[in-house]
């Protein structure tokens, strides 16, 4: 297969391309986000929806968290395949819909955008593909500039979608003054550092998850747990494992796992937990300690500054770079799971670039 360069697979190549893809998206999507915030102030809309499918839906969930945190605006995230069933046609001219699609050609996203537009909603496309059907349907577009992604398993387009969503939230907050200027200035500075954080995470985590893949390659199922913005990471990480390595993986909000699914824990059950930095950290530690007592093999995705708080006799750790603002952690915390999914696939003799039952664009 062409285009792999020095890498064994396209998925691995595209994981490594993420720092540059994110940097381009930051540089090129910020002006578009600021313009959109001027033309379509969020305060002018009574209802704001985000819609997408698969990976794009997960990016929308993290975007919803950013919108609520930075702009103090409530948004509703709905899978594109369900959009017409959940959104009233009467939403009309006072609603905005952010339609997220890597290709801009996904049948479900196009159907959702068409339904929204036909009922008078303002549609904004967030896509990697200029001139796509979605861009032609939308009143406005934010391009993510990730570059062509050839592997079916989305990696660099996901993190670039996250960056575009976060850039949009920052632009809207600055335009509408919904957060204090010092906080916004700090967030702006931090997001500019994200390409470096991702580059460090790739370098640091690859050998860690390579070894972990060797331990877990024969496991039949795995759970991923996250709270706050990393609830989205747990879902996206599970999807990557299903797509590339054919592992039965399920993502949950950390505390929701206690309400039923915890019954499935037995000796050695692998559970990957994305550790929060601040709010919810102690609560998460209590939960994972209980999982460990039930026999689970608990793996914590955590930053260097948290490692001294972790008893490594009880928990295995995947350590990423130094602490980043909680709101931006989904961009960084997904990296080790992308790499883990790749390494498990290789050990199982699978091709993570071309899962046999999947296609890059769902057109039916």
Q: Stretch 346-362: mean pLDDT, rounded?
A: 88
Confidence tier at 80 by pLDDT (50, 70, 90): very high
Average pLDDT score over the chain: 92
Segment 262-289 mean pLDDT: 87
Q: Looking at residues 314-338, what average pLDDT do you find?
A: 88
**8 A C-beta contact, residue 135 and residue 141:** yes
Pairing of strands 297-303, 122-127: unpaired
Indicate the burial class of 1 (C-beta count within 10 angstroms; 0-12, 13-18, 19 or more): exposed
In CATH terms, are 10-194 and 200-347 the same topology? yes
pLDDT of residue 226: 96
- Residue 286's pLDDT is 87
Q: What is residue 188's predicted lDDT score, i.e. its pLDDT?
A: 94
Structural domain boundaries of the chain?
Answer: 10-194, 200-347
N residues, the chain? 364
pLDDT above 50: residue 50: yes
The predicted model gives 76-104 an average pLDDT of 91
Residue 361 confidence class, pLDDT cut points 50, 70, 90: confident
Look at residues 249, 323, 238, 291 and name the one whose alpha carbon lies nearest to residue 299.
Answer: 291
Give yes or no for residue 60 having a pLDDT over 50. Answer: yes
Question: Hey, what are 296's tokens?
Answer: 């689970």
Average pLDDT over residues 194-222: 93
**Dihedral sign (CA 46, 128, 242, 318):** negative
The lowest-confidence range among 20-34, 90-104, 269-283 is 269-283
pLDDT digits (tens, 9 = 90+) for 96-154: 999 999 999 999 999 999 999 999 999 999 999 999 999 999 999 999 999 999 999 99
Under 8 Å between Cβ of 327 and 173: no
Q: State the fold for domain 200-347.
A: Rossmann fold (3.40.50)
Task: Report which of 308, 318, 326, 316 is spatially closest to residue 291, judged by C-alpha positions.
Answer: 316
The answer to whether 348 and 244 are in contact (CB under 8 A) is no
pLDDT tens, 300-324? Answer: 998 866 555 555 556 788 988 767 8
Q: How confident is the model at residue 1 (pLDDT cuts 50, 70, 90)?
A: very low
In the numeric block, which tokens belong to residue 127?
């896509």
Q: Give the pLDDT mean for 350-356.
A: 91
What distances in angstroms separate CA 81 from CA 3, 67, 85, 160, one per listed residue?
32, 23, 9, 23
Class of the CATH domain delimited by 10-194: alpha beta
């Amino acid at each position: 297969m062409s285009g792999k360069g020095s890498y064994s697979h396209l998925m691995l190549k595209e994981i490594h391309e993420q720092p540059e893809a994110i940097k381009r998206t930051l540089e090129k999507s910020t002006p578009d986000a600021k313009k959109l915030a001027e033309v379509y102030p969020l305060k002018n809309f009574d209802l704001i929806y985000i819609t997408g499918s698969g990976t794009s839906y997960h990016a929308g969930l993290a975007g919803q968290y950013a919108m609520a945190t930075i702009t103090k605006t409530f948004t509703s995230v709905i899978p594109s395949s369900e959009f017409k069933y959940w959104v009233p046609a009467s939403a009309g001219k006072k609603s905005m819909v952010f339609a997220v699609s890597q290709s801009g050609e996904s049948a479900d996203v196009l159907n959702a955008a068409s339904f929204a537009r036909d009922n008078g909603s303002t549609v904004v496309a967030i896509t990697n593909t200029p001139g796509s059907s979605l861009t032609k349907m939308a009143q406005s577009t934010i391009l993510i500039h990730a570059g062509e992604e050839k592997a079916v398993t989305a990696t660099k387009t996901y993190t670039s979608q996250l960056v575009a969503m976060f850039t949009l939230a920052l632009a809207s907050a600055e335009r509408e003054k919904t957060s204090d200027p010092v906080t916004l200035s700090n967030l702006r500075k931090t997001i500019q550092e994200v390409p470096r954080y991702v580059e460090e995470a790739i370098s640091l985590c690859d050998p860690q998850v390579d070894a972990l893949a060797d331990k877990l390659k024969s496991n039949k199922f795995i759970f991923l747990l996250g709270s706050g913005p990393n609830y989205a990471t747990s879902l996206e990480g599970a999807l990557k494992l299903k797509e590339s390595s054919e592992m039965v993986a399920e993502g949950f909000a950390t505390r929701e796992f206690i309400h039923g699914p915890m019954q499935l824990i037995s000796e050695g059950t692998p559970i990957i937990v994305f550790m929060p930095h601040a709010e919810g950290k102690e609560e998460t530690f209590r939960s994972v300690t209980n999982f460990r007592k039930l026999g689970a093999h608990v793996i914590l995705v955590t930053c260097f500054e948290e490692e001294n708080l972790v008893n490594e006799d009880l928990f295995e750790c995947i350590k990423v770079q130094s602490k980043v603002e909680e709101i931006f952690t989904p961009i960084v915390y997904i990296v080790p799971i992308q790499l883990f999914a790749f390494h498990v696939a290789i050990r199982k003799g699978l091709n993570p670039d071309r899962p046999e039952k999947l296609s890059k664009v769902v057109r039916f």
